[in-house]
């Protein structure tokens, strides 16, 4: 690969843009075609034209030639049809009927064409049935085939076993088969379903339900650029079906994935509507920077946010180097592959999924009682100033007043009751799916409205998806996906201050007086005012993706495919800050709070990304050897443009158009542009011998615009092997117990290119200054450049074992992995003396070692069914090397804030602080001890002088444990009884500490929320063995971050429980509904955690000053027509 | 045919994208300027000079200095500065790293300028030489704070690389002062006495010399300080502005007394001085940070020139602000002052106004507010101030001259002349000092005058540290106004919970920021006591 040297090439921008436009036009064209195509289409037999030129050929060969040239296949009995008869046929582009007429001219053979299937029969068939034993009773068998949701299954092949006699179910799933011997066995098969065999045994009416083939080891899973049978996997991939995911009512897909897949840790951080907030990690923390896994939806990199859970067909998590190396430079944090649903041919099916849910806050700490709080404050004031704040009489008067005159004597803090409310969430999804042999389409529509649990907060999503598959010719298929989503999000402007002020600086305030006047705290705040009246931030996002994929089967087993995709995200924001004037409720002449200037910031962001994937795939079986080769080329181009504008002093708060703001020096605007590109070559080789010995090799050669010079390209190889012991002859005796056993091993490397753009360019940014009242520009370098920047590389070894017991009743899987990340991309803190912001560098090494276990079972006992699984992940993270630098400790402006350290020998981002030894109990003890500050008294925290230098300083801080879970576990349990199903997901994490900072840790030192758990839980001379130190006012000496602030983060929770009921079809049929089920579900119903005492959700973090975690209780309905 | 058409279509699609975008991996940003294209024109040199000015202290940092001394108090007890006031900080405090980083960032910007500016092909060498002078003065200014607060610090005079920054060692403080002195002397020679209107606010010769006077005073090199101050005086460019009352207003911007200021413009380059200073009743829920203490007020003499502690002064504790040095009310808002909104300031605890002591955590905690820089014009759009903050004015030069002469024991008539000049400003008009020759007496006179004249201009925090009086004046309970209660008895506002401390064995030098030590252990040992 030749290096091209940079320089400025402005003239290049235009042709590129035209090309992009062209691509877009093509994509749109294809999307339109797919629309039209899906609406009007002809049947396969009408559209297919065949040419044959056969001299003295046997009928058998003629039929074979037709099968080769088309997708028709014949069903006939050689006993009835003389296929060795010779015929002469010469036709050009003729319809199948014409050809068949010619072939069977002059015979009594008649044919029936059903889609691609052609059944040949003779009138004698009724009498002879093609079976040797004429004495046998022959019967007509009829029935209906349905799937597990009672929906009828058209197109199922029903075959008399051992013969070629068979039919295909009609559009209602019904079939009728004549002349079936009484002792025959019927075989029902359908793509994606488990094949079933039923003995006729004299029955004339056989109805059957086919089960989906997604469970157990026969499962097919999505892997990079392809799919693979799970039995043939040699790498570590966890997968789950969309159907299973759809069982949970959630707002976003991340919540759905939580606790479902071994090796994937999802921490739900709670999220305001439209602002998902979560942490996703595949096998722990690989790097010091961006640890987000790569997400690929239908072959294209996309974000998981807002993807419609109903559209998902399957999710695969690629974990080891062998499975991820094919994604090269973006794969080090694991890859999440998502495929969306595609239509099956057959009758049009329409389904509706909807729910109504109520959300409530999961973070609702209770404030201390008024009297307890005032007493605590008095003790704090006495300890700090020598005098109490309140007299005994005042406390009595106040406490009585809170009951009789709450407007004059407001409770200390009622914000959790007044700002948060229960909020509804409604979702409707409608999906229409169907097609014929040539065109199949699935259209889905979604409308989701979510209100926030605070005022002025909501999200509305409207979206459509159209996935169409075309059988262009026997060898060429086209698939198009089109997804448009509009999301409107509203939130209070400057939302963060609401949660902050609920905890800080707003004690003893009436939220709202009877006449609507807001109360203002002595510090000038009211979070309810901020939520309701400070203005709103409106965000409108139009998200559009479209792709077209063509596949051409050049030769048998050799396929070439091209995929072109465009993704556009347009964001428009309107953030309006209201002006307002709040007067005193009791003295209407007095201004309590004013915001004199209103203002508007408008933002427009435009991001476009174009991807092309070209793949060549070759599959060949030679005897016991099977080979699969994949070669590919891929490129991605991304451009981003941003623009913003600001004005203030609008006529009133309702005039929110940028042009109406003051046209003076206060108006301003700004913007930014960027682009990046990625170009890749990759390949994979699979080899299997007797399906028993499996080998795989992967490689990717990636070039990225984020690096320069020789560092632009990098190579990522991987190898893996598997041994299916259960296929060995010596295993046959054990096969009834252990029907499947496989050992896997893989090793390889992957990369991470997640650094800021242009990190290698020493760029000057503009600053403003002014002289003589006139603004002047300044130019200077603010960030250091790093020309040597390159990928970080993760080397991973994985050893795995998969087993199935008792005919798949029990399954077990385990993996051990050892991941070593080298040349970590690290934005190292740099000395202040450098005077520049740091740029990312390749430095250091981090190890992740871990185990993953999955145990599953599925059983049924009559009407009862049970299946469940447990998975457990253990991850041990360790910084091995920081290239001679470090430690890196977070800098905090305040000493009570949580400190994290990244240092050799500790897990990334470990806690770092003081060790304590209870509280001082006597003055003598204080006198004989080095103190953190002057005037230490009994009841203060005794910090340990770890380095023995007779003073307490930051040098005495030490490692205080992990901040990221070492163990995560989950279990999903499904019970079914007749039409009822009960599903529960239990999930948890342990092996780490949590730290709740801010007000909840400060016990009223400042004028802040003081939790109920503080009540009588603090040091006084009478209560020396308390949990908390002596109260102080405006003095944080006792809350310097230390071991005593840690809380065991372990939790176990009933994440989701759902009860559903399938209404008997005998009832629903009367209203023409194929199948209908209703459910009720709730999330976060029960939690075991040390944080319960603080009434804080265990998944919350830091100061708990964010939109809280919520619990969702939902009622839903699923209907298939 | 159809078959072939389809094959064609797919092939075309593939080919149309394949191999195009050869520059896919070469992206050049167009929203920033790369180093390679810079340093070509005079404009580049000017732009890079302007950039260095950005690192002059911002308003918040600047006003906080005196609030951390005994004359002020930071109301927000959660601010890191509040911990310094109490002596409760450790080396991880954000104040230390912020001051350290801002100065070194300015130094790096200056060094990058000085290393590269000669790459500019210019037709105007005089301009380049002037710009070098400006940048060198700014760089020296950054070093003054570093040397004064930390003592030995790394002395960087060329662009620093990452590798180098991890290995730096500290230069003895005397060498840093030498460097500052030499730089300011040399830069002064490159700079004009004044600039054209469009360049008002740029460093001048007078600024270089006045800064040198301040630096040498801070370094205790009194003869150098006196000489530098004398040079400024001899320039005959500056004199005292006749009105102290309006010195800090829009009308007086760029007046004859101003030697160097940080220039602001409303809306374009704004400051929030009004919000930082204004009393609670003027703007509820302001971000009020800073209030003066009893010590700031009591230093003002009676108009007869006598201290209020002097029994013969005529001081009336029941009417404490009557007949006081006028600068008291110019500088501070006290009981009875008229506020920007026309209302009368009443901070007595029982007054029921928004300013009543104890009525809110953000109401004044001492019963006083700062008036300097608090002006009516900023009241309506109070986060959008455009008033220049004066970093160096002629009055300071006069006082520096007087103090340096006294400390160098070169006492002559010019010492009292300099002090008296300030006292005789038209709207101050305090009695002059005559016939005092004792060094000790003069020292007290100059120090007190310096406080009265320059309080809350970011100097007193430094003054008490170089006078080594901090250990005497800082420790103790926070004291505020004295007022007459409902029973006619005198009451003094105190904040018993807020006790200031100063550890003389530790606090005269700041600790190296903890992170700097972690990242570069060569800076150790830490300053004593930390």
Angle at A539 between CA A538 and CA A543, to 5 degrees: 160
CA A1090 to chain CA mean position, Å: 28
Q: What is the distance between the alpha carbons of residues B244 and B373, in angstroms, rounded to a whole number?
A: 12
* pLDDT-derived band at A99, boundaries 50, 70, 90: confident
Q: What local confidence, expressed as pLDDT, does residue A78 receive?
A: 74
* Beta carbons of A1060 and A1079 less than 8 angstroms apart: yes
Percent share of chain A, pLDDT over 90: 45
pLDDT in tens, A1037-1048: 888 899 999 999
> Which residues in chain B are contacts of A23 at CB distance < 8 A?
16-17
pLDDT in tens, A1040-1079: 899 999 999 999 999 889 899 999 888 888 888 888 889 9
Residue (of A205, A199, A207) closest to A183 by Cα position: A199
> Which residues in chain B are contacts of A525 at CB distance < 8 A?
285
Of B6, B80, B112, the CB nearest to A893: B80
Residue from B157, B162, B274, B480 to probe the interface with A (highest A Cβ count within 10 Å)? B162
Would you call A659 helix, strand, or coil by DSSP?
helix
Percent share of chain A, pLDDT over 70: 91
What is the full DSSP assignment across A729-784? Answer: GGGTTTTTTEEEEEEEEEEEEEEE----TTTTS-EEEEEEEEETTEEEEEEEE-B-
* pLDDT-derived band at A884, boundaries 50, 70, 90: confident
What sign for the dihedral angle of Cα A84, A90, A92, A94? negative
Would you call A402 helix, strand, or coil by DSSP?
helix
Does B52 touch chain A if contact means CB atoms closer than 8 Å?
A: yes
Q: Which of residues 32-51 of B touch A (CB under 8 A)?
A: 32-35, 37-38, 44, 46-51
> Which residues in chain B are contacts of A783 at CB distance < 8 A?
none
Residue (of B209, B222, B150, B223) closest to B180 by Cα position: B209
- Ranges in chain B, pLDDT < 50: 18-19
Q: Which of residues 365-384 of B touch A (CB under 8 A)?
A: 380-382, 384
Mean pLDDT of the A79-108 span: 81
pTM of the model: 0.79
Q: Is the pLDDT of residue A278 over 80?
A: no
- Among A118-127, A568-577, A684-693, B21-30, the range with the most confident prediction by mean pLDDT is A568-577
- Please state whether beta strands A73-75 and A117-121 pair in parallel, antiparallel, or not at all (unpaired): parallel
Q: What is the distance between the alpha carbons of residues B87 and B84, in angstroms, rounded to a whole number?
A: 5
> Which residues in chain B are contacts of A757 at CB distance < 8 A?
27, 29
The CA distance from A891 to the nearest CA of chain B, in Å, is: 7
Mean pLDDT of the A590-595 span: 82
Would you call A959 helix, strand, or coil by DSSP?
strand
A110: its two tokens: 């008649």
* pLDDT-derived band at A3, boundaries 50, 70, 90: very low
How many Cα neighbours within 13 Å face the side chain of A753?
Answer: 25
Q: Which residue of A has its CA nearest to B100?
A: A832
* Beta carbons of A367 and A413 less than 8 angstroms apart: yes
Determine whether the interchain pair A836/B108 forms a contact, defined as Cβ–Cβ distance below 8 Å.
Answer: yes
Q: Is the pLDDT of residue A35 over 70?
A: no
Q: Which residue of A has its CA nearest to B90?
A: A953
Does B154 touch chain A if contact means CB atoms closer than 8 Å?
A: yes
Determine whether the interchain pair B48/A779 forms a contact, defined as Cβ–Cβ distance below 8 Å.
Answer: yes
Q: What local confidence, expressed as pLDDT, does residue A28 receive?
A: 44
Q: Look at the block and give the residue holding tokens 């969309």.
A: A242
Of B6, B200, B520, the CB nearest to A473: B6
Q: Is the pLDDT of residue A12 over 70?
A: no
Q: What local confidence, expressed as pLDDT, does residue A812 receive?
A: 94
Mean pLDDT of the A9-21 span: 42
pLDDT in tens, A435-464: 888 899 999 999 999 999 999 999 999 999
Q: Is the pLDDT of residue A164 over 90?
A: no
Q: What is the distance between the alpha carbons of residues A179 and A173, in angstroms, rounded to a whole number?
A: 20
What stretches of B12-131 adopt beta strand conformation (E)?
33-34, 72-74
Q: What local confidence, expressed as pLDDT, does residue A182 receive?
A: 78
Q: What local confidence, expressed as pLDDT, does residue A784 receive?
A: 87
pLDDT in tens, A787-825: 888 888 999 999 999 999 988 899 999 999 999 999 888
Please count the residue pairs, one from chain A and one from chain B, whose beta carbons lie less than 8 angstroms apart. Answer: 312
Q: Which residue of B has its CA nearest to A708?
A: B26
Q: What is the distance between the alpha carbons of residues A409 and A387, in angstroms, rounded to a whole number?
A: 23
Determine whether the interchain pair B3/A836 forms a contact, defined as Cβ–Cβ distance below 8 Å.
Answer: no
Determine whether the interchain pair A778/B160 forms a contact, defined as Cβ–Cβ distance below 8 Å.
Answer: no
DSSP bridge partners of A448: A427, A461
Residue partners of A1027: CB distance under 8 A and separation at least 6: A1017, A1018
Q: What local confidence, expressed as pLDDT, does residue B13 receive?
A: 58
The CA distance from A1019 to the nearest CA of chain B, in Å, is: 19
Angle at A462 between CA A458 and CA A468, to 5 degrees: 155
Mean pLDDT of the A974-983 span: 91
Q: What local confidence, expressed as pLDDT, does residue A401 receive?
A: 95
Q: Is the pLDDT of residue A132 over 50?
A: no
pLDDT in tens, A712-732: 899 999 999 999 999 898 998
* Beta carbons of A574 and A644 less than 8 angstroms apart: no
Mean pLDDT of chain A: 85
DSSP bridge partners of A1078: A1061, A1117
Q: What local confidence, expressed as pLDDT, does residue A9 receive?
A: 38
Does B84 touch chain A if contact means CB atoms closer than 8 Å?
A: no
Q: Is the pLDDT of residue A473 over 90?
A: no
Of A262-271, A357-366, B310-319, which gets the smallest average pLDDT?
A: A262-271
CA B121 to chain CA mean position, Å: 36
């Amino acid at each position: 690969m030749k290096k091209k040297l940079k320089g400025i090439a402005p003239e290049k921008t235009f042709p590129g843009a035209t090309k992009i436009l062209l691509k877009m036009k093509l994509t749109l064209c294809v999307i339109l075609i797919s629309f039209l195509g899906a609406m009007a289409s002809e049947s396969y037999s009408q559209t297919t034209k065949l040419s044959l030129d056969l001299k003295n050929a046997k009928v058998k060969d003629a039929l074979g030639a037709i099968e080769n040239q088309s997708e028709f296949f014949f069903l006939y009995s050689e006993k009835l049809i003389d296929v060795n008869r010779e015929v002469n046929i010469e036709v050009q582009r003729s319809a199948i009927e014409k050809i068949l007429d010619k072939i069977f001219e002059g015979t009594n053979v008649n044919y029936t064409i059903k889609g691609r299937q052609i059944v040949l029969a003779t009138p004698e068939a009724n009498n002879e049935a093609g079976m040797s034993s004429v004495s046998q009773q022959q019967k007509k068998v009829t029935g209906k085939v349905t799937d597990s949701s009672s929906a009828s299954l058209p197109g199922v092949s029903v075959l008399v076993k051992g013969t070629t006699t068979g039919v295909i179910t009609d559009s209602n799933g019904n079939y009728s088969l004549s002349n079936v011997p009484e002792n025959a066995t019927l075989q029902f098969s359908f793509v994606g379903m488990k094949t079933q065999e039923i003995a006729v045994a004299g029955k004339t009416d056989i109805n059957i339900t086919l089960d989906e083939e997604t469970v157990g080891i026969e499962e097919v899973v999505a892997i990079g650029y392809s799919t693979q049978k799970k039995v043939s996997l040699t790498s570590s991939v966890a997968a789950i079906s969309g159907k299973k995911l759809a069982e949970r009512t959630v707002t976003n897909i991340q919540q759905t994935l939580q606790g479902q897949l071994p090796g994937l840790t999802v921490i739900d951080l709670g999220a305001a509507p439209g602002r998902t907030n979560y942490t996703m990690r595949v096998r722990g923390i690989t790097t010091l920077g961006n640890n987000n896994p790569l997400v690929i939806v239908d072959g294209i990199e996309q974000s998981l946010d807002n993807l419609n859970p109903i559209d998902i067909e399957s999710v695969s998590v690629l974990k080891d180097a062998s499975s991820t190396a094919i994604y090269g430079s973006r794969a080090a944090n694991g890859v999440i592959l998502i495929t969306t649903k595609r239509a099956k041919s057959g009758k049009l099916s329409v389904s509706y999924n909807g729910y109504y849910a109520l959300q409530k806050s999961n973070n609702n700490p209770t404030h201390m009682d008024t009297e307890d709080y005032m007493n605590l404050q008095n003790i704090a004031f006495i300890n700090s100033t020598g005098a109490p704040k309140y007299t005994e009489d005042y406390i009595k008067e106040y406490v009585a007043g809170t009951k009789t005159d709450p407007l004059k004597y407001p409770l200390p803090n009622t914000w959790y009751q007044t700002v948060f409310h229960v909020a509804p969430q409604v979702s409707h999804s409608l999906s229409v799916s169907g097609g014929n042999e040539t065109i199949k389409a699935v259209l889905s529509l979604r409308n989701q409205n979510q209100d926030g649990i605070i005022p002025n907060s909501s999200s509305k999503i409207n979206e459509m998806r159209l996935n169409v598959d075309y059988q262009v010719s026997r060898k060429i298929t086209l698939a198009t996906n089109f997804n448009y989503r509009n999301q409107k999000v509203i939130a209070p402007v400057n939302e963060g201050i609401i949660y902050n002020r609920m905890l800080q600086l707003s004690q003893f305030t009436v939220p709202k007086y009877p006449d609507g006047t807001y109360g203002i705290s002595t510090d000038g705040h009211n979070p309810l005012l901020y939520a309701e009246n400070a203005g709103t931030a409106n965000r409108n996002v139009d998200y559009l993706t479209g792709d077209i994929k063509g596949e051409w089967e050049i030769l048998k087993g050799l396929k070439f495919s091209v995929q072109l995709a465009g993704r556009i995200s347009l964001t428009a924001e309107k953030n309006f800050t209201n002006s307002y004037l709040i007067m005193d409720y009791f003295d209407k002449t007095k201004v309590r709070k004013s915001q004199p200037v209103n203002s508007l910031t408008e933002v427009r962001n435009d991001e476009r990304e174009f991807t092309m994937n070209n793949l060549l795939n070759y599959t060949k079986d030679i005897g016991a050897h099977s080979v699969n080769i994949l070669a590919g080329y891929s490129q991605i181009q991304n451009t981003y443009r941003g623009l913003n504008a600001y004005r203030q002093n609008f006529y009133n708060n309702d005039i929110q158009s940028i042009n109406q703001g003051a046209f003076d020096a206060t108006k301003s605007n700004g913007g930014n542009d960027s682009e990046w590109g990625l170009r890749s070559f990759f390949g994979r080789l699979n080899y299997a011998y007797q399906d028993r010995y499996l080998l795989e090799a992967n490689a990717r050669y990636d070039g990225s615009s984020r690096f320069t010079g020789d560092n632009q390209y990098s190579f990522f190889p991987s190898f893996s092997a598997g041994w299916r012991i259960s296929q060995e002859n010596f295993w046959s005796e054990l096969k009834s117990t252990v029907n499947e056993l496989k050992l896997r091993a893989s090793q390889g490397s992957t990369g991470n290119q997640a650094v800021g753009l242009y990190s290698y360019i020493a760029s000057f940014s503009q600053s403003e200054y002014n002289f003589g009242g006139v603004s002047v520009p300044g130019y200077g370098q603010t960030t250091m450049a790093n020309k040597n920047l390159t990928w970080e590389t993760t080397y991973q070894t994985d050893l795995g074992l998969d087993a199935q017991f008792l005919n798949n009743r029990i399954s077990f899987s385990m993996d051990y992995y050892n991941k070593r990340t080298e040349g970590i991309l690290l934005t190292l803190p740099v000395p202040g003396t450098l005077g520049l912001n740091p740029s990312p560098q390749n430095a250091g090494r981090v190890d992740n070692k871990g185990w993953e276990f999955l145990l599953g079972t599925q059983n049924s006992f009559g009407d009862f069914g049970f299946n469940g699984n447990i998975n457990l992940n253990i991850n041990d993270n360790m910084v091995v090397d920081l290239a001679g630098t470090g430690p890196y400790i977070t800098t905090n402006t305040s000493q009570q804030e949580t400190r994290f350290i990244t240092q050799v020998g500790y897990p990334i981002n470990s806690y770092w602080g003081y060790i304590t030894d209870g509280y001082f109990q006597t003055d003598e003890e204080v006198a004989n001890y080095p103190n953190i500050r002057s005037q230490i008294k009994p009841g203060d925290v005794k910090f340990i002088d770890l380095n023995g230098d007779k003073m307490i300083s930051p040098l005495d801080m030490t490692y205080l444990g992990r901040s990221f879970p070492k163990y995560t576990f989950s279990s999903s349990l499904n019970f079914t009884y007749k039409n009822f199903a009960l599903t529960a997901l239990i999930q948890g994490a342990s092996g780490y500490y949590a730290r709740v900072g801010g007000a909840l840790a400060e016990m009223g030192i400042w004028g802040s929320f003081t939790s109920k758990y503080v009540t009588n839980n603090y040091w006084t001379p009478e209560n020396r063995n308390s949990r908390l130190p002596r109260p102080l006012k405006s003095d944080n000496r006792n809350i310097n971050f230390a071991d005593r602030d840690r809380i065991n983060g372990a939790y176990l929770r009933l994440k989701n429980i759902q009860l559903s009921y399938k209404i008997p079809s005998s009832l629903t049929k009367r209203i023409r509904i194929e199948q209908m089920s209703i459910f009720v579900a709730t999330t976060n119903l029960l939690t075991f955690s040390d944080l319960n005492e603080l009434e804080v959700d265990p998944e919350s973090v830091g100061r708990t000053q964010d939109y809280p975690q919520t619990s969702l209780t939902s009622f839903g309905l699923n209907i298939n027509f | 045919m159809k078959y072939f058409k389809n094959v064609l279509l797919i092939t075309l699609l593939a080919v149309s994208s394949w191999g195009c975008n050869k520059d896919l991996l070469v992206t050049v940003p167009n929203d920033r300027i790369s180093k390679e294209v810079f340093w070509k024109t005079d404009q580049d040199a000017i732009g890079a000079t302007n950039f260095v000015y950005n690192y002059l202290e911002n308003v918040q940092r600047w006003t906080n200095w005196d609030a951390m001394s005994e004359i002020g108090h930071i109301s927000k007890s959660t601010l890191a500065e509040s911990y310094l006031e109490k002596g409760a900080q450790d080396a991880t405090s954000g104040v230390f790293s912020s001051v350290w980083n801002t100065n070194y960032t300015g130094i790096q910007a200056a060094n990058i300028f000085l290393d590269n500016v000669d790459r500019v092909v210019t037709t105007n060498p005089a301009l380049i030489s002037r710009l070098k002078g400006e940048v060198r003065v700014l760089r020296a200014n950054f070093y003054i704070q570093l040397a004064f607060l930390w003592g030995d610090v790394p002395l960087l005079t060329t662009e620093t690389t990452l590798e180098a920054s991890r290995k730096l060692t500290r230069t003895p403080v005397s060498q840093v002062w030498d460097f500052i002195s030499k730089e300011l002397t040399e830069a002064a020679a490159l700079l004009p006495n004044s600039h054209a209107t469009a360049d008002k606010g740029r460093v001048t010769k007078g600024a270089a010399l006045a800064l040198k006077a301040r630096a040498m005073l801070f370094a205790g090199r009194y003869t150098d300080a006196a000489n530098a101050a004398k040079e400024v005086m001899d320039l005959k460019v500056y004199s005292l502005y006749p009105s102290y009352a309006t010195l800090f207003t829009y009308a007086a911007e760029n007046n004859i007394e101003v030697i160097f200021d940080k220039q602001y413009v409303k809306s374009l380059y704004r400051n929030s001085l009004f919000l930082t200073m204004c009393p609670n009743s003027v703007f509820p829920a302001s971000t009020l940070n800073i209030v003066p203490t009893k010590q700031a007020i009591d230093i003002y003499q009676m108009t007869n020139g006598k201290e209020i502690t002097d029994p013969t002064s005529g001081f009336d504790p029941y009417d404490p602000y009557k007949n006081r040095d006028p600068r008291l009310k110019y500088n501070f808002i006290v009981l009875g002052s008229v506020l920007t909104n026309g209302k009368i300031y009443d901070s007595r605890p029982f007054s029921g106004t928004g300013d009543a002591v104890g009525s809110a955590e953000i109401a004044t905690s001492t019963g006083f507010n700062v008036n300097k820089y608090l002006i009516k014009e900023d009241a309506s759009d109070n986060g959008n101030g455009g008033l220049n903050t004066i970093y160096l004015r002629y009055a300071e030069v006069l006082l520096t001259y007087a103090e340096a002469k006294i400390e160098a024991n070169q006492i002559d008539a010019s010492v009292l002349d300099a002090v008296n000049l300030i006292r005789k400003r038209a709207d101050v008009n305090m009695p002059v000092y005559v016939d005092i020759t004792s060094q000790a007496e003069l020292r007290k006179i100059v120090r007190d005058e310096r406080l009265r004249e320059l309080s809350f201009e970011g100097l007193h925090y430094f003054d008490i540290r170089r006078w080594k009086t901090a250990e005497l004046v800082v420790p103790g309970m926070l004291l505020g106004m004295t007022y007459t209660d409902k029973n006619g008895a005198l009451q003094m506002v105190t904040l018993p919970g807020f006790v200031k401390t100063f550890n003389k064995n530790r606090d005269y030098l700041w600790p190296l920021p903890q992170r700097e030590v972690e990242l570069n252990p060569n800076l150790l040992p830490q300053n004593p006591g930390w």
